[in-house]
Structure 1
Amino acid sequence: MKPKFHTTAHHYAINLVIHFLGLHNINMGRLKVRRALYEKEAFPETSMQDIGMELQKWGIQHELKTAPCNITDAMVFPTMAVIRIHEQDVLAIVEKVEEQQIHLQYFFADTITCAVSELTVLQYLDIKEIVVDKEFCEACEQEDLSEREAYTDSIFAVEDFLSEEECNYMIDYCEQHNLFNRSMTGAADGTGEITGNRTSYSAFITTSRQDPLFNDIIERAADLMEVEPARIEDLQCVRYGEGQEFKPHFDSFETGVKRKATLLVYLNDNFEGGETVFPEIGFSVSPKRGMALSFVNLDEQNKDLIYSLHGGAPVTAGIKFACNIWIHL
Protein backbone atom coordinates (compact mmCIF):
# COMPACT_ATOMS: atom_id res chain seq x y z
CA MET A 1 0.00 0.00 0.00
CA LYS A 2 1.29 3.45 -0.92
CA PRO A 3 2.20 5.59 2.11
CA LYS A 4 0.18 8.74 2.85
CA PHE A 5 1.36 11.99 1.27
CA HIS A 6 2.42 13.55 4.57
CA THR A 7 5.16 10.90 4.88
CA THR A 8 7.07 12.83 2.19
CA ALA A 9 8.09 15.21 4.99
CA HIS A 10 10.47 12.48 6.20
CA HIS A 11 11.44 11.14 2.76
CA TYR A 12 15.22 11.36 2.41
CA ALA A 13 15.45 11.55 -1.38
CA ILE A 14 12.70 14.17 -1.69
CA ASN A 15 14.24 16.36 1.00
CA LEU A 16 17.64 16.02 -0.67
CA VAL A 17 16.17 17.16 -4.00
CA ILE A 18 14.58 20.18 -2.28
CA HIS A 19 17.95 21.04 -0.76
CA PHE A 20 19.68 20.54 -4.12
CA LEU A 21 17.28 22.91 -5.87
CA GLY A 22 17.90 25.48 -3.16
CA LEU A 23 21.65 25.28 -3.78
CA HIS A 24 20.93 26.28 -7.38
CA ASN A 25 18.57 29.08 -6.23
CA ILE A 26 15.59 27.34 -7.81
CA ASN A 27 12.71 28.21 -5.50
CA MET A 28 9.61 26.44 -6.70
CA GLY A 29 8.02 25.43 -3.40
CA ARG A 30 8.36 22.21 -1.50
CA LEU A 31 4.84 21.07 -2.33
CA LYS A 32 5.55 20.85 -6.07
CA VAL A 33 8.63 18.72 -5.48
CA ARG A 34 6.91 16.47 -2.95
CA ARG A 35 3.85 15.93 -5.15
CA ALA A 36 5.86 15.23 -8.30
CA LEU A 37 7.98 12.50 -6.70
CA TYR A 38 5.12 11.15 -4.58
CA GLU A 39 3.09 10.52 -7.72
CA LYS A 40 5.76 8.20 -9.13
CA GLU A 41 4.44 4.66 -9.37
CA ALA A 42 7.25 3.13 -7.33
CA PHE A 43 7.02 5.58 -4.40
CA PRO A 44 8.33 5.39 -1.67
CA GLU A 45 11.20 4.04 -3.78
CA THR A 46 12.80 6.96 -5.65
CA SER A 47 15.40 6.34 -8.33
CA MET A 48 17.86 8.68 -9.99
CA GLN A 49 15.81 8.23 -13.16
CA ASP A 50 12.72 9.53 -11.32
CA ILE A 51 14.64 12.50 -9.96
CA GLY A 52 16.30 13.23 -13.28
CA MET A 53 12.99 13.17 -15.15
CA GLU A 54 11.50 15.82 -12.87
CA LEU A 55 14.63 17.96 -12.90
CA GLN A 56 14.47 18.01 -16.70
CA LYS A 57 10.92 19.39 -16.46
CA TRP A 58 12.11 22.07 -14.07
CA GLY A 59 14.90 23.31 -16.33
CA ILE A 60 17.97 21.33 -15.25
CA GLN A 61 19.13 19.75 -18.50
CA HIS A 62 21.47 16.84 -17.91
CA GLU A 63 22.64 13.42 -18.91
CA LEU A 64 22.42 10.59 -16.41
CA LYS A 65 25.82 8.91 -16.30
CA THR A 66 26.01 5.38 -14.93
CA ALA A 67 28.90 3.18 -13.86
CA PRO A 68 31.56 3.03 -15.02
CA CYS A 69 31.68 6.81 -14.90
CA ASN A 70 34.10 9.49 -13.78
CA ILE A 71 32.52 12.34 -11.86
CA THR A 72 35.66 14.43 -12.29
CA ASP A 73 34.44 14.95 -15.87
CA ALA A 74 31.35 16.81 -14.63
CA MET A 75 31.24 20.49 -15.52
CA VAL A 76 28.50 21.83 -13.22
CA PHE A 77 28.36 21.52 -9.43
CA PRO A 78 26.59 20.94 -7.12
CA THR A 79 25.18 17.81 -8.67
CA MET A 80 23.47 14.67 -7.43
CA ALA A 81 24.99 11.21 -7.39
CA VAL A 82 24.57 7.72 -6.08
CA ILE A 83 27.82 6.78 -4.41
CA ARG A 84 29.12 3.66 -2.75
CA ILE A 85 30.93 4.56 0.43
CA HIS A 86 31.68 2.36 3.43
CA GLU A 87 29.99 -0.52 1.54
CA GLN A 88 26.73 1.41 1.37
CA ASP A 89 24.96 2.92 -1.66
CA VAL A 90 23.88 6.46 -0.83
CA LEU A 91 22.12 9.27 -2.68
CA ALA A 92 24.24 12.36 -2.12
CA ILE A 93 24.87 15.91 -3.20
CA VAL A 94 28.35 16.39 -4.64
CA GLU A 95 29.26 20.00 -3.93
CA LYS A 96 32.48 20.04 -5.93
CA VAL A 97 35.49 18.01 -7.01
CA GLU A 98 38.94 19.55 -6.90
CA GLU A 99 42.42 18.06 -6.94
CA GLN A 100 40.97 14.54 -6.80
CA GLN A 101 39.11 15.45 -3.61
CA ILE A 102 35.34 15.12 -3.58
CA HIS A 103 33.20 17.28 -1.30
CA LEU A 104 29.81 15.77 -0.64
CA GLN A 105 26.85 15.81 1.68
CA TYR A 106 24.50 12.97 2.57
CA PHE A 107 22.05 12.21 5.37
CA PHE A 108 22.09 16.01 5.92
CA ALA A 109 25.29 15.83 7.93
CA ASP A 110 28.14 18.28 7.53
CA THR A 111 30.02 18.24 4.24
CA ILE A 112 32.70 15.57 4.16
CA THR A 113 35.80 15.47 1.98
CA CYS A 114 37.45 12.31 0.73
CA ALA A 115 39.65 11.16 -2.12
CA VAL A 116 37.81 10.28 -5.31
CA SER A 117 39.58 6.92 -5.17
CA GLU A 118 37.93 6.12 -1.81
CA LEU A 119 34.44 5.79 -3.24
CA THR A 120 32.61 4.49 -6.28
CA VAL A 121 30.26 6.74 -8.21
CA LEU A 122 27.44 4.52 -9.47
CA GLN A 123 25.37 7.28 -11.08
CA TYR A 124 25.53 11.03 -11.37
CA LEU A 125 23.76 13.86 -13.14
CA ASP A 126 26.06 15.47 -15.69
CA ILE A 127 24.37 18.88 -15.82
CA LYS A 128 24.58 20.57 -19.22
CA GLU A 129 22.43 23.65 -18.75
CA ILE A 130 20.04 25.23 -16.26
CA VAL A 131 17.19 27.17 -17.86
CA VAL A 132 14.44 27.82 -15.34
CA ASP A 133 10.95 29.06 -16.20
CA LYS A 134 10.73 31.84 -13.61
CA GLU A 135 6.98 32.32 -14.00
CA PHE A 136 6.37 28.60 -13.45
CA CYS A 137 8.60 28.56 -10.36
CA GLU A 138 6.98 31.68 -8.95
CA ALA A 139 3.50 30.19 -9.43
CA CYS A 140 4.57 26.99 -7.62
CA GLU A 141 6.20 28.97 -4.83
CA GLN A 142 3.12 31.19 -4.45
CA GLU A 143 0.85 28.16 -4.12
CA ASP A 144 3.17 26.72 -1.50
CA LEU A 145 3.42 30.06 0.30
CA SER A 146 -0.37 30.50 0.39
CA GLU A 147 -0.88 27.10 1.99
CA ARG A 148 1.94 27.65 4.48
CA GLU A 149 0.53 31.04 5.49
CA ALA A 150 -2.97 29.62 5.87
CA TYR A 151 -1.68 26.94 8.22
CA THR A 152 0.48 29.41 10.16
CA ASP A 153 -2.57 31.64 10.64
CA SER A 154 -4.50 28.69 12.10
CA ILE A 155 -1.98 28.32 14.95
CA PHE A 156 -2.87 30.32 18.03
CA ALA A 157 -1.63 30.74 21.59
CA VAL A 158 -3.53 31.45 24.79
CA GLU A 159 -1.49 33.02 27.55
CA ASP A 160 -2.21 32.06 31.17
CA PHE A 161 -4.25 29.03 30.14
CA LEU A 162 -2.84 27.54 33.34
CA SER A 163 -1.80 29.50 36.40
CA GLU A 164 1.65 29.18 37.95
CA GLU A 165 0.12 27.13 40.78
CA GLU A 166 -1.58 24.76 38.34
CA CYS A 167 1.63 24.29 36.38
CA ASN A 168 3.57 23.49 39.55
CA TYR A 169 0.84 21.11 40.73
CA MET A 170 1.05 19.06 37.53
CA ILE A 171 4.86 18.86 37.66
CA ASP A 172 4.86 17.90 41.35
CA TYR A 173 2.09 15.34 40.87
CA CYS A 174 3.96 13.51 38.12
CA GLU A 175 7.27 13.55 39.97
CA GLN A 176 5.85 12.53 43.35
CA HIS A 177 3.98 9.62 41.76
CA ASN A 178 7.06 8.55 39.75
CA LEU A 179 5.11 8.72 36.51
CA PHE A 180 7.95 9.79 34.23
CA ASN A 181 9.28 7.08 31.92
CA ARG A 182 11.41 7.28 28.80
CA SER A 183 9.22 8.60 26.00
CA MET A 184 8.21 6.28 23.19
CA THR A 185 7.09 6.91 19.63
CA GLY A 186 4.61 5.22 17.34
CA ALA A 187 1.55 4.64 19.53
CA ALA A 188 -1.04 6.86 21.18
CA ASP A 189 -1.06 4.87 24.42
CA GLY A 190 2.68 5.14 25.00
CA THR A 191 3.34 1.50 24.09
CA GLY A 192 5.45 2.28 21.04
CA GLU A 193 9.21 2.01 20.95
CA ILE A 194 12.13 3.97 22.35
CA THR A 195 14.06 5.73 19.58
CA GLY A 196 16.66 8.44 19.22
CA ASN A 197 14.02 10.70 17.68
CA ARG A 198 12.50 11.31 21.11
CA THR A 199 14.84 11.52 24.08
CA SER A 200 12.46 13.06 26.61
CA TYR A 201 10.49 11.47 29.46
CA SER A 202 6.70 11.21 29.53
CA ALA A 203 4.04 10.77 32.18
CA PHE A 204 0.57 9.57 31.21
CA ILE A 205 -1.88 10.78 33.83
CA THR A 206 -4.45 7.98 33.61
CA THR A 207 -6.33 9.41 36.61
CA SER A 208 -6.92 12.71 34.80
CA ARG A 209 -10.67 12.59 35.23
CA GLN A 210 -10.55 11.60 38.89
CA ASP A 211 -8.34 14.50 39.94
CA PRO A 212 -10.44 17.70 40.29
CA LEU A 213 -7.75 19.97 38.85
CA PHE A 214 -6.88 17.73 35.92
CA ASN A 215 -10.55 17.23 35.12
CA ASP A 216 -11.03 20.99 35.21
CA ILE A 217 -8.12 21.39 32.76
CA ILE A 218 -9.80 18.90 30.41
CA GLU A 219 -13.08 20.81 30.65
CA ARG A 220 -11.25 24.07 30.03
CA ALA A 221 -9.49 22.62 26.99
CA ALA A 222 -12.78 21.28 25.63
CA ASP A 223 -14.35 24.74 25.89
CA LEU A 224 -11.37 26.36 24.17
CA MET A 225 -11.31 23.82 21.33
CA GLU A 226 -15.12 23.68 21.11
CA VAL A 227 -15.38 19.90 21.51
CA GLU A 228 -16.95 17.49 23.95
CA PRO A 229 -14.66 16.54 26.88
CA ALA A 230 -14.93 12.89 25.82
CA ARG A 231 -12.84 13.72 22.73
CA ILE A 232 -9.88 14.73 24.88
CA GLU A 233 -7.35 12.05 25.79
CA ASP A 234 -5.83 11.63 29.23
CA LEU A 235 -3.28 14.32 29.90
CA GLN A 236 0.38 13.65 29.21
CA CYS A 237 3.17 15.54 30.94
CA VAL A 238 6.62 15.58 29.31
CA ARG A 239 10.04 16.39 30.73
CA TYR A 240 13.11 17.36 28.71
CA GLY A 241 16.52 17.54 30.36
CA GLU A 242 19.56 19.24 28.91
CA GLY A 243 20.27 17.96 25.40
CA GLN A 244 16.94 16.15 25.12
CA GLU A 245 14.57 16.76 22.21
CA PHE A 246 11.71 15.42 20.13
CA LYS A 247 12.63 15.52 16.46
CA PRO A 248 9.99 16.64 13.93
CA HIS A 249 7.01 14.29 13.94
CA PHE A 250 3.25 14.09 13.49
CA ASP A 251 0.83 13.75 16.39
CA SER A 252 -1.73 11.72 14.48
CA PHE A 253 -1.24 8.07 13.53
CA GLU A 254 -1.67 5.98 10.40
CA THR A 255 -3.95 3.60 12.29
CA GLY A 256 -5.86 3.78 15.54
CA VAL A 257 -6.28 7.16 17.18
CA LYS A 258 -6.60 10.11 14.80
CA ARG A 259 -5.71 13.28 16.67
CA LYS A 260 -7.54 16.18 15.09
CA ALA A 261 -5.70 18.85 17.06
CA THR A 262 -3.06 19.41 19.72
CA LEU A 263 -3.07 21.81 22.65
CA LEU A 264 0.45 22.05 24.04
CA VAL A 265 0.76 23.77 27.41
CA TYR A 266 4.14 24.95 28.68
CA LEU A 267 4.50 24.30 32.41
CA ASN A 268 7.68 26.33 32.98
CA ASP A 269 10.06 28.63 31.18
CA ASN A 270 13.12 28.72 33.44
CA PHE A 271 15.28 26.89 30.89
CA GLU A 272 17.02 27.61 27.60
CA GLY A 273 16.21 26.17 24.18
CA GLY A 274 13.26 23.82 23.83
CA GLU A 275 11.36 25.85 21.25
CA THR A 276 8.46 24.22 19.41
CA VAL A 277 9.44 24.23 15.74
CA PHE A 278 7.36 23.71 12.58
CA PRO A 279 10.00 23.05 9.88
CA GLU A 280 7.59 22.89 6.95
CA ILE A 281 6.39 26.46 7.54
CA GLY A 282 9.55 27.98 9.04
CA PHE A 283 7.77 28.83 12.29
CA SER A 284 8.78 28.42 15.93
CA VAL A 285 7.36 29.25 19.35
CA SER A 286 9.34 30.02 22.51
CA PRO A 287 7.85 28.42 25.63
CA LYS A 288 6.16 30.62 28.21
CA ARG A 289 4.85 29.21 31.48
CA GLY A 290 1.09 28.67 31.44
CA MET A 291 0.72 29.38 27.72
CA ALA A 292 -1.25 26.95 25.55
CA LEU A 293 -0.32 26.49 21.89
CA SER A 294 -3.02 25.13 19.57
CA PHE A 295 -2.48 23.61 16.12
CA VAL A 296 -4.44 21.23 13.91
CA ASN A 297 -3.13 17.90 12.66
CA LEU A 298 -5.81 16.91 10.13
CA ASP A 299 -7.51 18.76 7.30
CA GLU A 300 -11.27 18.93 6.65
CA GLN A 301 -11.14 15.45 5.07
CA ASN A 302 -9.28 14.21 8.17
CA LYS A 303 -6.10 13.64 6.21
CA ASP A 304 -2.78 14.38 7.88
CA LEU A 305 -1.55 17.91 7.28
CA ILE A 306 2.08 17.97 6.20
CA TYR A 307 2.42 21.44 7.73
CA SER A 308 1.62 20.04 11.19
CA LEU A 309 5.07 18.44 11.28
CA HIS A 310 6.59 19.80 14.49
CA GLY A 311 9.27 19.06 17.04
CA GLY A 312 10.72 20.08 20.36
CA ALA A 313 14.16 21.63 19.90
CA PRO A 314 16.93 20.44 22.24
CA VAL A 315 17.00 21.99 25.69
CA THR A 316 20.37 23.69 26.10
CA ALA A 317 20.16 24.44 29.84
CA GLY A 318 17.74 23.51 32.61
CA ILE A 319 14.69 21.26 32.47
CA LYS A 320 11.58 21.82 30.36
CA PHE A 321 8.11 20.62 31.38
CA ALA A 322 5.01 20.65 29.18
CA CYS A 323 1.58 19.07 28.97
CA ASN A 324 0.14 17.51 25.81
CA ILE A 325 -3.63 17.75 25.43
CA TRP A 326 -4.77 15.81 22.36
CA ILE A 327 -8.20 16.10 20.76
CA HIS A 328 -9.19 13.05 18.72
CA LEU A 329 -11.96 12.57 16.18
Structure 2
Amino acid sequence: MEKYNLTVVHEFILMGITSRPELQAPLFRLFLIIYLVTVLDNLGMIILTKVDQSLQTPMYFFLRHLAITDLGYSTVVGPKMLINFVVDQNTISYYLCATQLAFFLVFIACELFLLYDHSVAICNPLLYTVIMSQRLCHILVVVPYLYSTFVSLLVTIKIFTLRFCDYNVISHFYCDSLPLLPLLCSNTHEIEVIILILAAFNLLSSLLIILVSYLLILITTLRMKSAEGRRKAFSTCGSHLTVVIVFYGTLIFMYVQPKSSHYFDTDKLASIFYTIIIPMLNPLIYSLRNKDVKHAIQSTWKKICTVFS
Protein backbone atom coordinates (compact mmCIF):
# COMPACT_ATOMS: atom_id res chain seq x y z
CA MET A 1 0.00 0.00 0.00
CA GLU A 2 3.00 2.32 0.40
CA LYS A 3 3.18 2.47 -3.39
CA TYR A 4 -0.10 4.40 -3.46
CA ASN A 5 0.88 7.12 -1.01
CA LEU A 6 0.56 10.05 -3.42
CA THR A 7 3.42 12.54 -3.60
CA VAL A 8 4.83 14.72 -6.34
CA VAL A 9 7.42 12.73 -8.33
CA HIS A 10 10.42 14.84 -9.34
CA GLU A 11 12.70 12.06 -10.59
CA PHE A 12 12.82 8.35 -11.38
CA ILE A 13 15.41 5.69 -10.66
CA LEU A 14 16.38 3.46 -13.62
CA MET A 15 17.19 -0.09 -12.53
CA GLY A 16 19.44 -0.69 -15.55
CA ILE A 17 20.13 -3.92 -17.39
CA THR A 18 21.53 -5.88 -14.45
CA SER A 19 22.12 -5.40 -10.73
CA ARG A 20 24.96 -7.95 -10.55
CA PRO A 21 28.21 -6.04 -9.72
CA GLU A 22 30.52 -8.51 -11.49
CA LEU A 23 28.72 -7.87 -14.81
CA GLN A 24 28.81 -4.06 -14.69
CA ALA A 25 32.33 -3.53 -16.07
CA PRO A 26 32.27 -6.11 -18.92
CA LEU A 27 28.78 -5.03 -20.02
CA PHE A 28 29.83 -1.37 -19.94
CA ARG A 29 32.79 -2.11 -22.25
CA LEU A 30 30.65 -4.25 -24.57
CA PHE A 31 27.83 -1.74 -24.95
CA LEU A 32 30.25 1.18 -25.25
CA ILE A 33 31.92 -0.51 -28.23
CA ILE A 34 28.51 -1.31 -29.78
CA TYR A 35 27.32 2.28 -29.34
CA LEU A 36 30.51 3.77 -30.80
CA VAL A 37 30.27 1.44 -33.82
CA THR A 38 26.60 2.43 -34.20
CA VAL A 39 27.44 6.14 -34.19
CA LEU A 40 30.36 5.69 -36.60
CA ASP A 41 28.39 3.49 -39.06
CA ASN A 42 25.21 5.55 -39.14
CA LEU A 43 26.89 8.95 -39.14
CA GLY A 44 29.18 7.73 -41.92
CA MET A 45 26.17 6.61 -43.99
CA ILE A 46 24.38 9.92 -43.45
CA ILE A 47 27.41 11.89 -44.66
CA LEU A 48 28.30 9.49 -47.50
CA THR A 49 24.80 9.37 -49.01
CA LYS A 50 24.64 13.15 -48.80
CA VAL A 51 27.96 14.04 -50.47
CA ASP A 52 28.52 11.24 -53.00
CA GLN A 53 26.80 11.85 -56.34
CA SER A 54 26.57 8.15 -57.21
CA LEU A 55 24.34 7.55 -54.17
CA GLN A 56 21.73 10.16 -55.06
CA THR A 57 18.95 7.62 -55.68
CA PRO A 58 15.66 6.97 -53.83
CA MET A 59 17.02 3.81 -52.16
CA TYR A 60 19.98 5.64 -50.63
CA PHE A 61 17.79 8.62 -49.77
CA PHE A 62 15.67 6.31 -47.60
CA LEU A 63 18.81 4.61 -46.27
CA ARG A 64 20.07 8.00 -45.10
CA HIS A 65 16.89 8.62 -43.14
CA LEU A 66 16.95 5.06 -41.82
CA ALA A 67 20.45 5.84 -40.50
CA ILE A 68 19.12 9.07 -38.94
CA THR A 69 16.41 7.17 -37.04
CA ASP A 70 18.87 4.44 -35.98
CA LEU A 71 21.30 7.06 -34.72
CA GLY A 72 18.42 8.94 -33.10
CA TYR A 73 16.88 6.30 -30.87
CA SER A 74 20.19 4.58 -30.07
CA THR A 75 21.50 7.97 -28.84
CA VAL A 76 18.32 8.64 -26.88
CA VAL A 77 18.83 5.33 -25.03
CA GLY A 78 22.55 4.47 -25.23
CA PRO A 79 24.39 7.19 -23.24
CA LYS A 80 21.95 7.05 -20.32
CA MET A 81 22.19 3.25 -20.29
CA LEU A 82 26.01 3.45 -20.19
CA ILE A 83 25.88 5.89 -17.26
CA ASN A 84 23.89 3.30 -15.32
CA PHE A 85 26.93 0.97 -15.32
CA VAL A 86 29.24 3.51 -13.63
CA VAL A 87 26.98 5.16 -11.02
CA ASP A 88 25.49 3.70 -7.85
CA GLN A 89 22.01 5.04 -8.50
CA ASN A 90 21.01 6.17 -11.98
CA THR A 91 18.35 8.85 -11.64
CA ILE A 92 16.50 10.72 -14.37
CA SER A 93 14.37 13.79 -13.83
CA TYR A 94 10.62 13.76 -14.45
CA TYR A 95 10.85 16.03 -17.51
CA LEU A 96 13.94 14.35 -18.93
CA CYS A 97 12.17 11.00 -18.62
CA ALA A 98 9.21 12.40 -20.60
CA THR A 99 11.62 13.81 -23.20
CA GLN A 100 13.45 10.50 -23.55
CA LEU A 101 10.17 8.63 -24.04
CA ALA A 102 8.92 11.16 -26.60
CA PHE A 103 12.05 11.11 -28.77
CA PHE A 104 12.40 7.34 -28.53
CA LEU A 105 8.83 6.86 -29.80
CA VAL A 106 9.37 9.36 -32.64
CA PHE A 107 12.44 7.56 -33.98
CA ILE A 108 11.30 3.96 -33.42
CA ALA A 109 7.86 4.53 -34.99
CA CYS A 110 9.37 6.40 -37.93
CA GLU A 111 11.83 3.57 -38.61
CA LEU A 112 8.98 1.11 -39.21
CA PHE A 113 7.72 3.05 -42.22
CA LEU A 114 11.18 3.98 -43.51
CA LEU A 115 11.98 0.25 -43.57
CA TYR A 116 8.86 -0.18 -45.71
CA ASP A 117 9.94 2.55 -48.16
CA HIS A 118 13.44 1.08 -48.36
CA SER A 119 12.08 -2.44 -48.96
CA VAL A 120 9.92 -1.25 -51.85
CA ALA A 121 12.93 0.60 -53.30
CA ILE A 122 14.94 -2.63 -53.16
CA CYS A 123 12.08 -4.58 -54.72
CA ASN A 124 11.76 -2.36 -57.81
CA PRO A 125 14.93 -0.22 -58.05
CA LEU A 126 14.60 0.67 -61.76
CA LEU A 127 10.88 1.43 -61.63
CA TYR A 128 11.34 3.25 -58.33
CA THR A 129 13.97 5.54 -59.86
CA VAL A 130 11.61 6.39 -62.73
CA ILE A 131 8.42 7.07 -60.75
CA MET A 132 9.99 8.61 -57.62
CA SER A 133 10.53 12.32 -57.98
CA GLN A 134 12.52 14.20 -55.37
CA ARG A 135 9.30 15.74 -54.10
CA LEU A 136 7.62 12.36 -53.70
CA CYS A 137 10.66 11.00 -51.84
CA HIS A 138 10.48 13.90 -49.41
CA ILE A 139 6.74 13.36 -48.90
CA LEU A 140 7.31 9.66 -48.11
CA VAL A 141 9.82 10.70 -45.44
CA VAL A 142 7.99 13.71 -43.99
CA VAL A 143 4.70 11.81 -43.53
CA PRO A 144 6.27 9.09 -41.30
CA TYR A 145 8.04 11.78 -39.25
CA LEU A 146 4.78 13.68 -38.75
CA TYR A 147 2.80 10.53 -37.96
CA SER A 148 5.42 9.23 -35.51
CA THR A 149 5.51 12.66 -33.82
CA PHE A 150 1.73 12.49 -33.39
CA VAL A 151 1.97 8.96 -31.92
CA SER A 152 4.80 10.03 -29.61
CA LEU A 153 2.99 13.10 -28.30
CA LEU A 154 -0.25 11.18 -27.82
CA VAL A 155 1.35 8.43 -25.70
CA THR A 156 3.76 10.71 -23.80
CA ILE A 157 1.14 13.32 -22.90
CA LYS A 158 -1.36 10.62 -21.90
CA ILE A 159 1.14 9.01 -19.52
CA PHE A 160 2.62 12.16 -18.00
CA THR A 161 -0.73 13.84 -17.37
CA LEU A 162 -1.71 10.91 -15.13
CA ARG A 163 -0.72 10.78 -11.45
CA PHE A 164 2.42 8.93 -10.40
CA CYS A 165 2.77 7.33 -6.98
CA ASP A 166 5.71 7.91 -4.66
CA TYR A 167 7.24 4.63 -5.88
CA ASN A 168 9.57 5.91 -8.61
CA VAL A 169 11.78 2.92 -9.52
CA ILE A 170 11.54 2.03 -13.24
CA SER A 171 12.34 -1.65 -13.87
CA HIS A 172 14.11 -0.86 -17.12
CA PHE A 173 17.22 0.84 -18.50
CA TYR A 174 15.39 3.77 -20.12
CA CYS A 175 12.02 5.53 -19.87
CA ASP A 176 9.59 3.50 -21.96
CA SER A 177 5.81 3.49 -21.89
CA LEU A 178 5.21 -0.03 -20.54
CA PRO A 179 7.66 0.10 -17.58
CA LEU A 180 6.13 3.47 -16.58
CA LEU A 181 2.56 2.14 -16.38
CA PRO A 182 3.01 0.21 -13.07
CA LEU A 183 4.13 3.46 -11.40
CA LEU A 184 0.82 5.20 -12.15
CA CYS A 185 -1.85 5.50 -9.49
CA SER A 186 -4.52 6.52 -12.00
CA ASN A 187 -6.55 4.07 -14.05
CA THR A 188 -4.25 2.93 -16.88
CA HIS A 189 -6.78 0.97 -18.94
CA GLU A 190 -7.22 3.70 -21.58
CA ILE A 191 -3.50 4.27 -22.19
CA GLU A 192 -2.86 0.51 -22.24
CA VAL A 193 -5.47 0.10 -24.99
CA ILE A 194 -4.01 3.05 -26.94
CA ILE A 195 -0.49 1.61 -26.78
CA LEU A 196 -1.69 -1.87 -27.81
CA ILE A 197 -3.75 -0.59 -30.77
CA LEU A 198 -1.00 1.75 -32.05
CA ALA A 199 1.70 -0.89 -31.64
CA ALA A 200 -0.35 -3.60 -33.35
CA PHE A 201 -1.30 -1.32 -36.26
CA ASN A 202 2.20 0.14 -36.79
CA LEU A 203 4.07 -3.14 -36.43
CA LEU A 204 1.77 -5.56 -38.22
CA SER A 205 0.81 -3.28 -41.15
CA SER A 206 4.40 -2.27 -41.95
CA LEU A 207 5.69 -5.83 -41.43
CA LEU A 208 3.06 -7.23 -43.80
CA ILE A 209 4.08 -4.79 -46.55
CA ILE A 210 7.78 -5.55 -46.05
CA LEU A 211 7.18 -9.31 -46.23
CA VAL A 212 5.12 -8.89 -49.43
CA SER A 213 7.98 -6.81 -50.90
CA TYR A 214 10.52 -9.52 -50.14
CA LEU A 215 8.16 -12.19 -51.46
CA LEU A 216 8.17 -10.36 -54.80
CA ILE A 217 11.97 -10.23 -54.64
CA LEU A 218 12.00 -14.01 -53.97
CA ILE A 219 9.76 -14.70 -56.98
CA THR A 220 12.00 -12.54 -59.19
CA THR A 221 15.12 -14.27 -57.85
CA LEU A 222 13.76 -17.76 -58.57
CA ARG A 223 13.24 -16.72 -62.20
CA MET A 224 16.91 -15.81 -62.61
CA LYS A 225 18.86 -18.00 -65.01
CA SER A 226 22.20 -17.32 -63.36
CA ALA A 227 22.95 -19.56 -60.37
CA GLU A 228 25.52 -17.02 -59.11
CA GLY A 229 22.92 -14.25 -59.34
CA ARG A 230 20.41 -16.30 -57.36
CA ARG A 231 23.03 -17.09 -54.72
CA LYS A 232 23.93 -13.43 -54.24
CA ALA A 233 20.27 -12.39 -54.15
CA PHE A 234 19.40 -15.06 -51.55
CA SER A 235 22.44 -14.07 -49.45
CA THR A 236 21.47 -10.40 -49.50
CA CYS A 237 17.76 -10.93 -48.89
CA GLY A 238 18.47 -13.55 -46.21
CA SER A 239 20.55 -11.12 -44.15
CA HIS A 240 17.98 -8.36 -44.66
CA LEU A 241 15.11 -10.59 -43.55
CA THR A 242 17.05 -11.84 -40.52
CA VAL A 243 17.46 -8.26 -39.26
CA VAL A 244 13.80 -7.46 -40.03
CA ILE A 245 12.56 -10.57 -38.18
CA VAL A 246 14.72 -9.84 -35.10
CA PHE A 247 13.66 -6.17 -35.10
CA TYR A 248 9.95 -6.83 -35.50
CA GLY A 249 9.95 -9.99 -33.40
CA THR A 250 11.38 -8.27 -30.33
CA LEU A 251 9.10 -5.23 -30.78
CA ILE A 252 6.01 -7.43 -31.12
CA PHE A 253 7.11 -9.45 -28.07
CA MET A 254 7.47 -6.21 -26.11
CA TYR A 255 4.35 -4.30 -27.14
CA VAL A 256 1.76 -6.65 -28.67
CA GLN A 257 1.03 -8.91 -25.72
CA PRO A 258 -1.28 -8.74 -22.68
CA LYS A 259 -0.12 -6.85 -19.60
CA SER A 260 -0.15 -10.06 -17.54
CA SER A 261 2.45 -11.62 -19.87
CA HIS A 262 5.12 -8.99 -19.17
CA TYR A 263 8.20 -9.91 -17.18
CA PHE A 264 10.59 -6.99 -17.09
CA ASP A 265 13.74 -9.12 -17.10
CA THR A 266 12.76 -10.68 -20.44
CA ASP A 267 11.43 -7.31 -21.65
CA LYS A 268 14.84 -5.75 -21.01
CA LEU A 269 16.51 -8.52 -23.00
CA ALA A 270 14.14 -7.93 -25.93
CA SER A 271 14.69 -4.17 -25.70
CA ILE A 272 18.47 -4.59 -25.99
CA PHE A 273 18.00 -6.05 -29.48
CA TYR A 274 15.90 -3.26 -31.00
CA THR A 275 17.51 -0.34 -29.15
CA ILE A 276 21.20 -1.35 -29.16
CA ILE A 277 21.92 -4.26 -31.55
CA ILE A 278 19.72 -3.46 -34.57
CA PRO A 279 20.91 0.18 -34.99
CA MET A 280 24.46 -1.18 -35.22
CA LEU A 281 23.54 -3.95 -37.70
CA ASN A 282 21.34 -1.94 -40.08
CA PRO A 283 24.11 0.03 -41.84
CA LEU A 284 26.30 -3.08 -41.96
CA ILE A 285 23.55 -5.21 -43.53
CA TYR A 286 21.76 -2.69 -45.76
CA SER A 287 24.62 -0.44 -46.84
CA LEU A 288 28.25 -1.38 -46.23
CA ARG A 289 27.94 -4.72 -48.06
CA ASN A 290 26.67 -2.91 -51.17
CA LYS A 291 29.22 -2.50 -53.98
CA ASP A 292 28.00 1.06 -54.73
CA VAL A 293 28.62 2.07 -51.12
CA LYS A 294 32.04 0.38 -51.09
CA HIS A 295 32.97 2.24 -54.26
CA ALA A 296 31.72 5.53 -52.78
CA ILE A 297 33.78 4.95 -49.61
CA GLN A 298 36.91 4.27 -51.66
CA SER A 299 36.29 7.31 -53.86
CA THR A 300 35.66 9.59 -50.86
CA TRP A 301 38.74 8.25 -49.06
CA LYS A 302 40.93 8.96 -52.13
CA LYS A 303 39.60 12.51 -52.28
CA ILE A 304 40.35 13.04 -48.57
CA CYS A 305 43.88 11.64 -49.00
CA THR A 306 44.43 13.89 -52.02
CA VAL A 307 43.34 16.99 -50.10
CA PHE A 308 45.58 16.25 -47.11
CA SER A 309 48.57 15.22 -49.25
TM-score bucket (shorter structure)? under 0.3
Name the one with the larger strand percent: 1
* TM score, norm. by length of structure 2: 0.26
Name the one with the larger helix percent: 2
* TM score, norm. by length of structure 1: 0.25
Structure 1 or 2, whichever has the larger Rg, is: 1
Higher relative contact order (CA 8 A, sep 6+): 2
